[in-house]
Amino acid sequence: MGTNSTISKLEKDGTVKSIKCHFDGYYNHNGKRLFEFYKNEEDIDELIKLGDLVSLGEHLNPPDENYDFSRALDDKITCAGYRDEDEDEINFKEYKSLDDYFEAFFSGNLPFYNYIWIDREWYVCDRDNILPNNKLNNLKYVLKND
């Protein structure tokens, strides 16, 4: 069974784009990889453009166009449903605002782990740290050493 998570980005226009990742959503995997390997706007935009992920790797793209994605986990390559698993369409969710994103989280419509890029920083909201009276305090940094 996978540990689902979302990977999202607060856009300059106030909308939030979000994709799901099926496997390894916990801090020591997806949190750590996002913090260590996805550090700039361009990489995060490219990640979101892939749509929903099977797994998040250290590397966004395979080394060549004939790459065998059955090796993606071992090679630490990101595996996207549309690009790499023959899914029919690129799936991502767009929220009208950060408030809408939080509404989905607080209503239980998002997984346990939810990573969001805001102002050049990764944050995470999770089900163990729900503070409904102050939504921004619900976000915490993904720690380097976690």
Radius of gyration of the chain from its Cα atoms, rounded to whole angstroms: 15
At 1 the pLDDT is 54
Q: Which residue has the higher pLDDT, 123 or 16?
A: 16
- Contact (Cβ atoms closer than 8 angstroms) between residue 95 and residue 104: yes
Q: Which two tokens stand for residue 103?
A: 């509404």
Whole-angstrom distance, CA of residue 63 vs CA of residue 51: 19
Q: How many helices (H) and strands (E) are present in the chain, helices listed first?
A: 5, 8
Looking at the chain, the whole-number percentage of residues with pLDDT higher than 70 is 86
- Read off the pLDDT of residues 56-100 as tens digits, 9 standing for 90 and up: 999 988 888 888 887 877 788 898 887 777 667 778 899 999 889
At 146 the pLDDT is 40
- Say if residue 122's pLDDT is above 90: no
Highest mean pLDDT among 10-19, 30-39, 51-60, 86-95: 10-19
Looking at the chain, the whole-number percentage of residues with pLDDT higher than 90 is 40
- Say if residue 42's pLDDT is above 70: yes
Q: Which two tokens stand for residue 113?
A: 């782990």
At 109 the pLDDT is 79
- Say if residue 123's pLDDT is above 90: no
